[in-house]
Amino acid sequence: MKISNGVKLLIIANWKCNPITLQKAKRLFNSIKKGIKNLRNSEVVICPPFVYLPYLLKPKPYTLNPKFGAQDCFWGKKGAFTGEISPWMLKELGCQYVILGHSERRQYFNEPDEMINKKIKATLKAGLTPILCVGDKSREAKEDIKELDGQLEKDLKGLKKSSLSKLIVTYEPIWAIGTGNPCGSEEAKLAGQFIKKHFSEKIPILYGGSVDSQNAEDYIKKAGFQGLLIGNASLNPKEFIKIIKTINKD
């Protein structure tokens, strides 16, 4: 299933803080790589924990499917910032994407929108594509919209039109992430359309939150998203490949 303008669907695998060993990470990666070998209509981006990136990115070239992303990054280039990973380092490694503003970072690490804004700018400057996550805490439609609006306004502050056109935005209702309680496709569609209005350029808008092989197709076909951000199900190669095949059938 190709989206209307022939652009490929984007499938982001967010492994979060998993798996616990490099051996398991390599095994998971190899199974996914094998399963998506002849994929033409989708681009798959694997976002493992930082420490596994150099091992999985070998051997070069890394332009083939799957591509790689990080789950977060620092807003500066280098310096005395203990524990941070700069987007320039990720670029040098061969990464092409960075997830920013994920609700787990906002919630457990108190990341404010102002910080996410700085990270987006640095990521773009380093030549990587930010995958900005925004989401609402409740199911109440009116509140959702207000919350998304506030996040987008602050996260995108000061970005020029040329920068905005390079972004990917993911709608991730917080109550649907890792809960097995996905957002209905109609509800998700409204949020997706709302996000789209913030951009004059056509950018990919994705959905994330309890995606599985049963509901994946609806987010693309019925709700009109250009891809998916997948957490839990991306740790299960069989299920992850099933999701990709479901949305790739013509």
The residue ranges that bind ligand PGA (CB under 6 A) are 14, 172, 177-178, 208-211, 229-233
198 is catalytic: no
Tell me, what amino acid is at 235?
Answer: L
Separation of alpha carbons 188 and 196, rounded Å: 12
Contact status, residue 82 vs residue 97, Cβ threshold 8 Å? no
| Nearer to ligand PGA (CB atom), residue 9 or residue 88 | 9
Contact status, residue 231 vs residue 178, Cβ threshold 8 Å? yes
* Per annotation, catalytic residue among 43, 104, 147, 172: 172
Distance of CA 17 to the CA centre of its chain: 15
Contact status, residue 19 vs residue 232, Cβ threshold 8 Å? no
Contact status, residue 46 vs residue 69, Cβ threshold 8 Å? yes
Which residue number is nearest to ligand PGA in terms of Cβ?
A: 231
| Nearer to ligand PGA (CB atom), residue 56 or residue 183 | 183
Q: How far is the CB of 38 from ligand PGA (least distance, A)?
A: 25
Q: How far is the CB of 229 from ligand PGA (least distance, A)?
A: 5
* Per annotation, catalytic residue among 102, 104, 111, 147: 102
What long-range pairs does 73-76 form, CB within 8 A, spacing at least 24?
73/98, 73/100, 73/119, 73/122, 73/123, 74/119, 74/122, 75/115, 75/118, 75/119, 75/121, 75/122, 76/122
Separation of alpha carbons 136 and 64, rounded Å: 34
Q: How far is the CB of 176 from ligand PGA (least distance, A)?
A: 6
Q: How far is the CB of 133 from ligand PGA (least distance, A)?
A: 7
| Nearer to ligand PGA (CB atom), residue 88 or residue 168 | 168
| Nearer to ligand PGA (CB atom), residue 44 or residue 230 | 230
172 is catalytic: yes
Separation of alpha carbons 122 and 128, rounded Å: 9
| Nearer to ligand PGA (CB atom), residue 88 or residue 131 | 131
Q: How far is the CB of 211 from ligand PGA (least distance, A)?
A: 5
Strand 42-47 relative to strand 9-14, pairing: parallel
Active-site annotation, residues: 102, 172
